Structure formats: structure tokens, C-alpha cells
Structure 1
Amino acid sequence: MSVVPFKALRCPLDGAPLSRVDGGWRCPQGHSFDVSRQGHVNLLPVQNKRSRDPGDSKLMIAARRRFLEAGHYQAIAGAVSRRILAHAPERTPLAVLDAGCGEGYYLRALAGVNDGGRELAVLGLDISRWAVQAAAGQDKRMAWVVGSNAALPVPDQSLDVVLCMFGFPTPAEFARVLKPGGLLLEIEAGPDHLRELREIIYPTLKAPRDMSSAPADGFHAGGSETVRETCRLGQRDEIEDLLVMTPHLYRASAEGRERALALEQLDITLDVHLKASLRNG
């Protein structure tokens, strides 16, 4: 796989195309955005923030990085990469956005696939500056942006694939930035995902969500797939990282967190649904 520079960015203030200049990006109206020392750029205007430090915390990102690098979600990453690469014939270039990229694990897995020299122009976007900073520090080949799914800093119809991993889907924005026939790949937790952990930290489990929803406006169905397997966490640190990297840390009761963090090992179920939708046009 050959990762090439991602150049299709637009100004978050006026929507004009951004051009790469020394040390940053600039639009024709003179708005400029510096590239950080780590290699990412902040395209989230202050007025679009709902809090001072939105998104996942530095603590959550560090825990997720350790957990994912240990290989626990490798089966999920493999399924995601296969589906993205199956969207177009071999050697066809792909422009890919991970909308909610976290620390970049799934994009790095995609770029690591041996796919006969296919060119990938890759953009990782997250509202958490800690996530984007961590991602940029691990792979300089890709473009990393602090931004929001509610207003993607990407031109209309410029992407082949949008990936949304356990994130916050914005179908209208996804339809805007995808080319006709482009792939929207949403990854959602199935009813049994991390069930063993949830049974420990919650008094009762919520009823499972309906996973058979119709495609959003502007899309038609492109197939679905379920990844399901059992994973053993053999160390207390791994269990703690799993808890800390998810919203369960803040939703669980104090007693539930204590029960989970007292465990020496835990077998957990991975149950993840891949839903593909194709943009009309």
C-alpha cells in the first residue's frame, strides 16, 4: 500500500479550498492554519466547540492505544480493511476519511495491508486534540486534523470512503463529501459486545438496539457483516485499559468499577456490526 499526501481540505471558516504552504494550510481569503510540531492541523474553530476540551481525554486515548496495540481488536481492524479495499478494483486509488479516528489504529492497519501498490490518500479526523496528537505522532504519512463530523473540512464529493468507527454519524455531511457510489462504512457495537464487562459494572443491561435500520437519506444498502469472537484479557492492566478507554468508565457505578478493576483476568465477547451504505448518484 502506498500512502500519498491528502490535499483535499477546505477552510472551516468560509468553505474555500485550502492549499499547503510552508508550515501550514491557507485559503484564498487569507485564513491560515499552522501544522503542529506533531504534524497535525486544528480545523475546529473555537466557536464550534461545545466545551473547552471536547472529545476523548488524554487518559482515554493512552488507554485505548495500549489496548489496541496489544492486538485485542485485530479481527475488527482486519474486517474493516478488507471491506474498504473491496470497494474498488485493485490498484484503484482511494481517498479515505476516518471520521472519529481516535489515535489512528484502524487507518494504520488499513495502510499496512499489502494490496499491490494501491494508492491511499488518508485523512484522520477527530474532535479530540489528544487523539489527533497521538495519531500524528505515530504516522507522518497521513493527514491528521482536529475537526467535527458536524462540519467536515473536506470539499463536496471528494472522498471514496468514509469510515465511522463507534462514532457519531452525520449522514448529511457524509453524503456531501462522498463521491456518487462512495462507501460509508459504519461500525457499531452489537448486542453482546463487551457483555461480560457490562454485566460486572452495571446492575442491569439495557435492551439491545435494533441493528436493522434502513440506510440514511442519500444512501442505499451496501451489505453488512458481523465480527464475533472471544478475547481473553489476562492482566489487570488490560482490564483497566478497556474500562478507561470506553464511556463505560463514566457511566458505571463506583461499585461496578471497583468490581471490574479487582479482576485478574476476563474473557470478553467482541460483537461488532459493519454496515455498508453506498451514496446515491
Structure 2
Amino acid sequence: MSTEAFDALACPLDGDTLTQTGTCWRCPAGHSFDVARQGYLHLLPVQKKRSLDPGDSKAMVAARQRFLNAGYYQPIAQAVSTAVLQGATAETTTLACLDAGCGEGYYLRELAAANTDTPLSLIGLDISKWATLAAAKQDKRPRWVVGSNANLPVLPGTLDRVLCLFGFPVYPEFARVLKPGGVLIQADPGPNHLRELREIIYPSLKPEKPVAAEAPDGFSIVDTETVRYSLTLDNQGAIADLLAMTPHLYRASAEGRSKAEALITLTVTVEVRVARFVWRGL
């Protein structure tokens, strides 16, 4: 089924409608944004950056790309795709979906591959230019945007689905861009996620905070699913990539990182909670 780029974009400076002419997007006030040669659109103004190069580094993005493309998290991608497509039918005209914090685009690519009946209008947004660049290189169909969840460059009420996968949810912004009855799909690590790796790199583990079960304001919880399985990594490269794509790379001590680097094989528990919330309004 067809997959196209999402076009209902908003100017990140004044919130007005962006219109595309060639490789340039412009709002009525004259703010203009050029599509990069690689195909992504940069909608994160300098004055709204908290650092010179925010988000994941080029090395982190490359590690995540290798790890995810190897299929280690495919069961998670399958659960996310099922959650997105649930409720859609062959009569659905087009399902507009944003991945807020898309990384290098793995989950949107898997969604497009899993879908057979519903036309999709896709946008992937990440604050890291390296992530968006990697996404654009791998799939030209979705709209890939450098931007922030705190100020989504998307017009109000234009999305059927919003994904927030291991990311930083900004619920008021998600509510603003969702249509009434639109669905937020959120994936968060469970208490045992990568526990075996964490036991190696940390002297002791802090008690895990329970994943919040309540719905954000204006949302109602539809359902939750826990994806849990055992994953064996049988080479140092895959182990290094797993560590590099997580916050544990920076949280672990030098000694902890050295222990991980010495591993030849590692079996870890993957445990992820996938929740669906429907936007009811305030």
C-alpha cells in the first residue's frame, strides 16, 4: 500500500502553515527552510537549541542503525506496527503518523513494511541531525525533519497517530497535533529491560521506578502490551552497539564500560511496555 510524506507542517517560529515550493518551505511571514541535499528538512531554529549539536551523536546513531537493522528489536517493531494499524481498515483514506524522536527511522520503515491495506502519510522527527540524516538516506518516502518534541513543527489536529518510542514525551504537544480520537503509542523499557547488561556495568542496580499506568491529561488508556523475550548477542560488535545506543554508555563508569567491552557473548532480557492512549480532549 502507498506510503507518502506528511505535508501539514507548521513554521517553528510562528506556527503558521508552511508551503513547499521546490526544495524550499515558506510561511506567510516569509520564514523559509530549505530541504537538505540528503532529503531531510531542518525545522529547529538556532534560538531553540540548547546545545550546538543536540541529540544523539553520529556514533550513537550509527550503532543504533547497525543494531536495529540486524533485527534484534523486530518483535518490538511488530508490536508497534500492530498498535498503529489497529482500528484502520481498507476504507481508511490515509493514516497520518508522526514518530516523535524517530532516531534513524527504523520503526517507521518497519511500519511501512508491515502495512498492506492502509495508505500511510509518515513523518519522522528527531532533534539529532545525524539521526534524521541517517533516516533520509535509508528511505525517501516519509518526511524526515530535524525538530523538537517541545515545539512540533506540525499543524494542529492533523495526525491520526503519534509514536513516542523510548523518547521524551511532551503530552501537550502530542495532544495539540492529534485529531480528536487520535492515538498516542508509547513504548518504555520495563523493569527488567537489559537487566543482565546493567548488572555487569553498574556496581549495583537502583530499584526500578514502575512505569506509570495512568493516562496523561485529556487521554484515555486503551490497552497495554508487554513485549518480553531473551536475546543472545554472540559478537563483541553487537554488544558494543547495544551499549552505545543507550544512555548507559554515559552513565556507566570507565570500569563498567571495560567490562562490557570484554564480553564475547551476552544474553539479555528485552522487556518493553507498549501502551495506546486515545486523545479525548480537555
* Root-mean-square deviation over aligned CA pairs: 0.9
Aligned to 1:80: 80
| Alignment match, 2:99 | 98
Tell me by how many angstroms 1:88 deviates. 2.3
Question: Deviation digits for residues 246-273 of structure 1, max 9, x if unmatched?
Answer: 1100000111110111010000110000
Who is 1:272 aligned against?
A: 272
Question: Superposition pairs for residues 87-236 of structure 1, below 5 Å?
Answer: 87-92=87-92, 93-116=94-117, 118-236=118-236
Q: Aligned pairs, how many?
A: 280
Q: Deviations over 1:20-56 (max 9, x none)?
A: 1111211111111000011001000101100000000
Gaps of 5+ in 2: none
SS at match of 1:258: helix
> Is 2:85–2:115's contact at 8 Å kept on the other side of the alignment?
no
**Could you list the per-position Cα deviations for residues 154-194 of structure 1 after superposition, in whole angstroms to 9, with x for gaps in the alignment?**
01111000000100000010001001110001100000000
Question: Where does structure 1 lack aligned partners over 5 or more consecutive residues?
Answer: none
Pairwise CA distance, 1:114: 4.0
Runs of 4+ residues deviating >6 angstroms = none
Q: Is the 8 A contact 2:194 2:270 kept in 1?
A: yes
1:45-75 per-position Cα deviation (integer Å, ceiling 9, x unaligned): 1011000000000000000000001110000
TM-score, normalised to structure 1, is 0.98
Partner of 1:17 in structure 2? 17
Post-superposition Cα deviations, 1:67-109, rounded to whole Å, max 9, x if no partner, equal: 0011100000000001100032234120000000000000000
2:260 is aligned with 1:260: yes
- Counterpart of 1:122, as a letter, is L
Q: Do the aligned partners of 1:79 and 1:227 also contact (CA within 8 Å) in 2?
A: yes
Percent identity for Structure 1 against Structure 2: 59
Measure how far apart 1:113 and its partner are.
1.3
Q: 1:72 corresponds to which letter in structure 2?
A: Y
Rounded Cα–Cα distance in structure 2 between residues aligned with 1:58 and 1:275: 30
Letter in 2 for 1:270: V
State the Cα deviation string for residues 98-126 of structure 1 (Å, max 9, x = none). 0000000000000011422x110000000
SS in 2 for 1:149: coil
